[in-house]
Structure 1
Amino acid sequence: MKDYRIEEATSEDLNVVERGLVEYNLSKVPLIQEKAFIPVNLVVRDSEGQIVAGVDSRLYCWNCCYVDMLWVKEENRKCGYGNILLNEVERVAKEKGAYLIHLDTFDFQAKDFYLKHGYEIFGVLEDCPKGHNRYYLKKNL
């Protein structure tokens, strides 16, 4: 084995790792959308301009969409902002050619919200964190 050292990665280092992984993946399954990653990031602002909800998602390589985060400020929950954001992400993803959307959520977060929107559970990581479950959900668009 060659000499090596392990260091904390910088953001530039992680860009190298990401490019390497994307390059490898694309050598196995060709890119079928215009770019490897297309962000679909949205926020909802109140009348004072404060963010009350937001979503961080992206279409990736093969016309799939991953929702990384969807958040609604606690006092604004049950106002429909989560519905609006999720519906808009799905609309944009479908418009850009996505056929599948997926995400994960914890049992103390929004599992029932996603199930209500037609998502199905395809995996569960039990006891992560201790005493809770992490759910992996998907929906065909």
Structure 2
Amino acid sequence: MKLSIQDCTNEDQEYLVEKLVDYNLSKVQSEQSELFMDLIRKIEKDGKIIAGIIDFQAKEFYEKQGYEVFGQLDNCPRNHTRYYVKKYF
């Protein structure tokens, strides 16, 4: 399977952020005055992808795709665990 990464519009990005926030809020109660996504996915110059996921967001899927957990925050958000995963290309 050949995949390509394409730039998306600002409108596309805003839509994705809105839908991800909606989904996350459906799973955990918001305790923040502002909604934000601190780290979703970041592609760095050295070919590394970093993702911040919460325990209900398919951690096992990321691990099966070759991602490695490099950080964990317990009870963040309350009663959940936030994982940070990375993968090099």
Counterpart of 2:67 (choices 119, 131, 139) is: 119
For the residue of structure 1 that corresponds to 2:51, the secondary structure is strand
2: distance between equivalents of 1:101 and 1:41? 17
Counterpart of 1:106 (choices 47, 54, 63) is: 54
Q: How does 1:1-141 map to 2 (within 5 A)?
A: 40-41=7-8, 57=41, 59=43, 63=45, 98-141=46-89
- The one-letter code of the counterpart of 1:109 is Q
Question: What is the aligned residue count?
Answer: 55
- Aligned-pair RMSD on alpha carbons? 2.8
Q: Spell out, residue by residue over 1:17-38, the C-alpha distance to the aligned partner (whole angstroms, 9 max, x if none).
A: xxxxxxxxxxxxxxxxxxxxxx
Q: Spell out, residue by residue over 1:53-101, the C-alpha distance to the aligned partner (whole angstroms, 9 max, x if none).
A: xxx8554xx50xxxxxxxxxxxxxxxxxxxxxxxxxxxxxxxxxx4211
Q: Which structure has more RCO (C-alpha within 8 Å, separation ≥ 6)?
A: 2
For the residue of structure 2 that corresponds to 1:112, the secondary structure is helix
- The one-letter code of the counterpart of 2:87 is K
Higher strand share: 1
- The one-letter code of the counterpart of 1:99 is G
In the superposition, relative to structure 1, how do residues 100 and 110 fare at CA in structure 2: closer, same or farther (>3 Å)?
A: same
2: distance between equivalents of 1:58 and 1:136? 11
8 Å CA contact 2:42–2:51 kept in 1: the answer is no
8 Å CA contact 2:41–2:50 kept in 1: the answer is no
2: distance between equivalents of 1:57 and 1:122? 14
Larger gyration radius, structure 1 or structure 2: 1
- The one-letter code of the counterpart of 1:117 is Q
Give the ranges of 4+ consecutive aligned residues of structure 1 lying more than 6 Å apart after TM superposition.
Answer: none
Q: Unaligned 5+ residue runs, structure 2? A: 1-5, 10-39
Identity of counterpart residues, as a percentage? 43
Q: Could you tell me how far 1:109 is from its partner in structure 2? A: 1.0
